[in-house]
Structure 1
C-alpha cells in the first residue's frame, strides 16, 4: 500500500455537501468494478466490525441496490441506492436513502456523484454527496466520516489483494 496517496474529506455545511477525493494504486477498471459490483462492494463498504449484505443490485440507470449494514449483534440498517446516471468506467450518480427492511424509505436522502480517472497507474475517485436536509447531514456527519474513512481503508486492502491475482 502506498501511503502518499491523496485522501481529502471536505464539508461545505452551507451547501449541504461533502466532497471526498481518494487515490488508489490500482487500475481504473478494477476500481470501477469494486464500486459497481455487489459481490465486491460487500467485501469493503462496511466499516469493521459491521458487514454489508446486498439483497439485490441492478446497476443500470433506474436500477437499485438494496442492502444492509449489519452490526456484530445482528442489527441491520437498510438503505436503497437508485442509479440515476451511468457513464461506464468514469462516472455514476445515485440517490441514497435509509429505509426499513421492506424498502420503505426515510424522508430525506442524499445525491451521490462518483467520478473516476487514472493517471500513471493511480486511480482517483472524486465523490460529491449532496444532502437534501441540513439536519440529516449534521446528525450523521461525524459517524459518516469515520465510517467512510474506515471503508476506504478496507477498499485499499481489497484492491491490493485483487491486484496481485
Structure 2
C-alpha cells in the first residue's frame, strides 16, 4: 500500500532562478515547453495573478486536441508558484480527464506547489502535487499514477531544460 500523499519531483536546471521562474509564468515561454513531448501548445488565455488562469490546448502529432488550465493561487516571484490544474473544455470549464472510463477516478483538479531555489547559477525546481477537493478513491487513483506522472513530467522537464538552453 502506498503511503505517499503527494507526488514530488525535483530537478536542477543550469539557469538562474529569475529566468526559470519567467519561463514558468509567461505565456510565450510556456507555449514552447509545457506539456507532453511532441505536443504543440496554443495559449487561449493567460492571466498571471491570484485566481487568474492559464487556459491552453495541447495538440498531439496525430491532431488530437485536449484542453487544460491552471488557476493560479499564489505567485511569489521568483520563489514560489501555486496553482490548481486540470482538464478543461475549449470554453475553460473544468472537465474530467478525457481518457475514458478507466480514468473515472482521476481527480478533477490537482494542487501544485512549485518552488525555485537558487544554488550558484543553477535553479532547483521542486514540484509537489496532490489532488484538490478529492474523494478517497481519487487520492488512491492519483497515487497509483505516480510512476506515469514522473515519466510525463520527466519529458516535460527535458523540454524545459532544452528551452532554457535556447533562451539564455
Which of the five TM-score ranges fits, normalised by the shorter chain? 0.7 to 0.9
Give the aligned partner of residue 154 of structure 1.
Answer: 159
CA distance in 1, matches of 2:158, 2:9: 14
Of the three residues 88, 95, 105, the one matched with 2:84 is 95
Match of 1:110 in 2: 110
Contact 2:39 2:60 in 1 (8 A): yes
Aligned length: 152
> Contact (CA 8 Å) 1:81, 1:97: kept in 2 or not?
yes
**1:47 Cα shift?**
2.7
Aligned to 2:10: 21
Number of the residue aligned with 1:83: 72
* Equivalent residues of 1:13, 1:134 under 8 A apart: no
- Counterpart of 1:8 in structure 2 is none
Q: State the secondary structure of the residue aligned to 2:37.
A: coil
What residue is the counterpart of 2:50 in the other structure?
A: 61
* Alignment RMSD: 1.9
Change (3 A) 1:92 1:106: same
Q: CA deviation at 1:53?
A: 1.4
Secondary structure of 1:130's partner? strand
Note the C-alpha offset of 1:72: 1.3
Q: Distance in 2 between matches of 1:70 and 1:16?
A: 31
Residues 50 and 75 of structure 2 are in contact (CA less than 8 Å); yes or no, is this contact kept in structure 1? yes
Q: CA deviation at 1:14?
A: 3.2
The answer on whether the counterparts of 1:54 and 1:65 sit within 8 Å (CA) in structure 2 is: yes
Instruction: Return closer, same or farther for 1:15/1:146 CA change in 2, 3 Å cut-off.
Output: closer
Q: Which consecutive unaligned segments of at least 5 residues does structure 1 have?
A: 1-11
Q: Deviations over 1:79-132 (max 9, x none)?
A: 121001111100010011111222221352100001111011111111100123
Q: TM-score, normalised by structure 1?
A: 0.84
The superposition leaves residues 103-162 of structure 1 with CA deviations (integer Å, 9 ceiling, x where unpaired) of: 221352100001111011111111100123225525754443222111111111111111
**Residue 125 (structure 2) aligns with:** 125
Q: Give the secondary-structure state (helix, strand or coil) at the position aligned to 2:166.
A: helix
